[in-house]
């Protein structure tokens, strides 16, 4: 299978207002009026807007994003009926993503939603197999777009939804979507009383919904279609199974979905330890949700750690497969969108040159790319151009991310004490600094000093960068080390030392030698007397993957799952032991600028019990409990 999602083969009506998918011989919406159809079939069929009245949070999943017209109809209704501070979370799935130009051509025929369509098109999802979350905070709306087949995407979800728009192509033309496994997943992801609406009344759809626990009702159809379907979820049917999320998984604790603790506490106040890029990313995501974010920083000002570097690269790590490939690709797209919105990204482009040990991997990615050509392009010298990548000034980003949060400097925290449903943060002198509903440990190398996180295998590396006068390259260059334009000169580095280096001069000499190897023409212009250096610690992990999630109670976890150490499966109904309300984000290594915005969003979403952004395998790959799991496996 190609690493890029397939584009649909389209057939247009003469006036360009109607669109047909050739492969399925079906239209994207009714010729009698797409917007009116969305309102009559899907909104009214799901009991909207009445269903979300007096709700602070509402979650809806759509199967078939298509042109985005259903989302626009939903958005328009939400804007006019939402309660102040209420939030709507839309998750939508599309197997054949439309190009932005095609979507714009269609949506131009619906002037009633022209303003919303313009805002959606400005943020139109990139064509790639990576979930993308678009926030429209002024309207309290998040839109998460998943690319892939509906059954595959839903199999990786663990969220729950209040309503469903089932808008795939007709069952007779697209039977793969309307499978028994799909209906099983819809039921698994539905809250009691969830509503579902669809244009089709095909027998397989009716029977599939009923078998999954839905009560169905035929209703008058829209336009020339005689009938449509409305459904209400009554609850799971005893003995119903099928698909990868069958009922046995819930009782099988050898499955990571039950081994690793996940969960939220709907916090009103979140305390965040650390004001670097990780802590600032969490604060931004928490404030966006209307909760109070209090950031405690032990230093006297911003920039004490690695986030104090004057600039850094935002560029992707593209893996050829595996659960982490979703994490890194999604993080890159999310970082670019975040920094563009903050106005702190210089999209100079990054030329990734090959190293001997990774040349074949990069060549393979260029032959079968995971991103479209305006994001990832081969160059004549065998390198790859990341056209949307670039340079970010961390301090500018952090200051803007912290807008709306409270920041307490010179506020070290020694321990966390449980107090009812919350946590008290205690200073080294024993004073109680504050109480919070949730705590996020975002303190880099200091993570493991806190007892709940003491099991984490944090490793420290040291890195130094240089900047000063020199002739910069037209775009950033990287091959292990990097060089980029900065303040009219150049910035380059960085060293990577397992132990604290012997001195600044030694590290600079190594950076200069690496620069001469990467870009001798740039190195020849360096004015060494003008060079400035900065060294900082980086927190990494043995598997070089980041950490983000709810902290397990390590001692209780190891005891509960002791049988894993002997190769036995564990059958239990007891949830994984956790320090409820304590979360961690760390181990970002040299990729903090790229990873932090996504991981901050992931944590805030989990805290607030919202639909997830990453698939479950990707979440498990960065969960802190993975280290406990591996410890048992090694025994």
Residue 239's pLDDT is what?
Answer: 57
Q: Contact 628/621 with Cβ under 8 angstroms?
A: no
Q: Is the dihedral of CA 285, 91, 123, 483 positive or negative?
A: positive
Q: One fold for both 10-246 and 256-303+398-458+543-634?
A: no
Write the CA distances from 124 to 98, 110, 285, 376, 610, integer angstroms.
10, 17, 21, 17, 22
Q: In what order do the strands lie in the sheet with 292-296?
A: 406-408, 292-296, 269-273, 438-441, 578-586, 547-552
User: For the chain, what is the largest distance between any 2 Cα atoms, rounded to a whole number of angstroms?
Assistant: 80
Residue 572's pLDDT is what?
Answer: 83
pLDDT digits (tens, 9 = 90+) for 96-136: 999 999 999 999 999 999 999 999 999 999 999 999 999 99
Tokens of 529: 């007397």
Distance CA 78, CA 71 (A): 10
Q: Contact 298/411 with Cβ under 8 angstroms?
A: yes
Residues 6+ apart with CB under 8 A from 215: 231, 232, 234
Residue 610's pLDDT is what?
Answer: 97
Coil vs helix vs strand at 209: helix
The fold of 256-303+398-458+543-634 is FAD/NAD(P)-binding domain (3.50.50)
H helical segments located in 51-145: 69-81, 100-107, 114-122
The residue length of the chain stands at: 635
Distance CA 575, CA 577 (A): 6
Residue 255's pLDDT is what?
Answer: 55
Distance CA 285, CA 603 (A): 8
Tokens of 20: 């047909």
Which conformational region is residue 566 in: left (phi greater than 0), alpha (psi within -120 to 50 degrees), or beta? alpha
pTM of the predicted model over 0.85: yes
Tokens of 263: 């969960």
Residue 251's pLDDT is what?
Answer: 33
Q: What angle do CA 541, 542, 545 make, to 5 degrees?
A: 55
Q: Contact 296/433 with Cβ under 8 angstroms?
A: yes
What are the boundaries of each domain within the chain? Answer: 10-246, 256-303+398-458+543-634, 346-392+461-536
Residue 257's pLDDT is what?
Answer: 58
Q: Contact 522/472 with Cβ under 8 angstroms?
A: yes
Residues 6+ apart with CB under 8 A from 517: none
CA-closest candidate to residue 34, choices 106, 118, 119, 122: 106
CATH code that applies to domain 10-246: 3.40.50.150
Tokens of 381: 């010298």
Residue 256's pLDDT is what?
Answer: 54
Distance CA 224, CA 535 (A): 69
CA-closest candidate to residue 104, choices 69, 74, 135, 134: 69
The proportion of the chain whose per-residue pLDDT surpasses 70, expressed as a percent, equals: 96
Residue 241's pLDDT is what?
Answer: 46
H helical segments located in 478-527: 504-518, 520-523
pLDDT-flagged residues of the chain (< 70): 238-257, 501-502, 634-635
Distance CA 123, CA 117 (A): 10
CATH code that applies to domain 346-392+461-536: 3.30.9.10
């Amino acid at each position: 299978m190609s690493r890029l999602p397939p584009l649909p083969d389209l057939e247009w009506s003469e006036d360009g207002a109607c669109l047909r998918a050739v492969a399925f011989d079906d239209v994207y919406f009714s010729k009698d009026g797409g917007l009116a159809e969305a309102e009559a079939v899907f909104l009214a069929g799901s009991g909207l807007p009445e269903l979300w009245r007096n709700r602070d949070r509402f979650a809806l999943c759509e199967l078939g994003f298509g042109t985005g017209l259903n989302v626009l109809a939903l958005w328009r209704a939400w804007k006019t009926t939402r309660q102040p501070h209420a939030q709507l979370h839309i998750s939508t799935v599309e197997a054949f993503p439309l190009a932005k130009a095609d979507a714009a051509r269609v949506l131009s025929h619906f002037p009633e939603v022209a303003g919303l369509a313009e805002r959606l098109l400005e943020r139109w999802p990139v064509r790639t197999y990576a979930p993308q979350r678009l926030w429209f905070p002024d309207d309290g709306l998040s839109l998460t777009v998943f690319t892939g087949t509906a059954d595959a995407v839903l199999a990786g979800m663990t969220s729950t939804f209040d309503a469903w728009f089932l808008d795939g192509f007709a069952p007779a033309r697209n039977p793969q979507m309307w499978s028994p496994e799909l209906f099983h997943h819809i039921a698994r992801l539905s809250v009691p009383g969830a509503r579902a609406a669809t244009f089709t009344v095909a027998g397989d759809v009716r029977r599939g919904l009923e078998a999954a626990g839905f009560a169905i009702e035929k209703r008058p159809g829209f336009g020339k279609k005689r009938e449509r379907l409305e459904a209400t979820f009554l609850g799971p049917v005893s003995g119903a199974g099928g698909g990868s999320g069958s009922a046995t998984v819930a009782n099988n604790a050898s499955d990571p979905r039950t081994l690793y603790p996940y969960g939220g506490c709907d916090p009103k106040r979140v305390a965040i330890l650390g004001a670097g890029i990780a802590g600032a990313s969490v604060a931004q995501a928490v404030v966006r949700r209307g909760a109070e974010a209090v950031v405690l920083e032990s230093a006297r000002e911003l920039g004490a750690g690695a986030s104090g570097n004057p600039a850094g690269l935002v560029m992707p790590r593209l893996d050829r497969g595996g659960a982490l490939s979703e994490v890194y690709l999604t993080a890159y797209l999310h970082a670019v969108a975040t920094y563009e919105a903050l106005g702190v990204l210089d999209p100079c482009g990054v030329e990734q040159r090959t190293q001997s040990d990774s040349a074949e991997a990069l060549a393979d990615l260029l032959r079968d790319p995971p991103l479209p050509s305006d994001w990832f392009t081969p160059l004549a010298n065998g390198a790859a151009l990341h056209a949307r990548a670039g340079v970010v000034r961390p301090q500018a980003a952090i200051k803007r991310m912290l807008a709306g949060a409270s920041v307490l400097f010179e506020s070290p925290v020694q321990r966390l004490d449980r107090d009812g449903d919350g946590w008290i943060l205690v200073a080294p002198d024993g004073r109680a600094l504050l109480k919070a509903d949730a705590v996020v440990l975002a303190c880099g190398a200091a993570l493991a000093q806190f007892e709940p996180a003491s099991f984490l295998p944090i490793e420290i590396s040291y890195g130094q960068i240089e900047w000063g006068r020199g002739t910069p390259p037209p775009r950033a260059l990287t091959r292990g080390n990097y060089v980029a334009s900065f303040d009219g000169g150049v910035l380059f580095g960085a060293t990577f030392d397992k132990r604290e280096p012997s001195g600044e001069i030694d590290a600079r000499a190594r950076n200069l030698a690496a620069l001469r190897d990467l870009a001798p023409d740039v190195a020849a212009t360096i004015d060494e007397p003008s060079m400035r250096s900065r060294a900082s610690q980086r927190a990494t992990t043995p598997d070089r993957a980041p950490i983000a999630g709810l902290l397990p109670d390590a001692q209780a976890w190891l005891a509960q799952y002791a049988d894993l150490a002997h190769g036995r499966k564990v059958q239990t109904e007891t949830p994984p032991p956790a320090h409820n309300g304590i979360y961690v984000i760390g181990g970002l290594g040299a990729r903090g600028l790229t990873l932090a915005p996504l991981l901050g969003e992931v944590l805030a979403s989990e805290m607030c019990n919202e639909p997830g952004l990453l698939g479950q395998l990707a979440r498990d790959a960065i969960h802190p409990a993975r280290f406990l799991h591996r410890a048992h496996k090694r025994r």
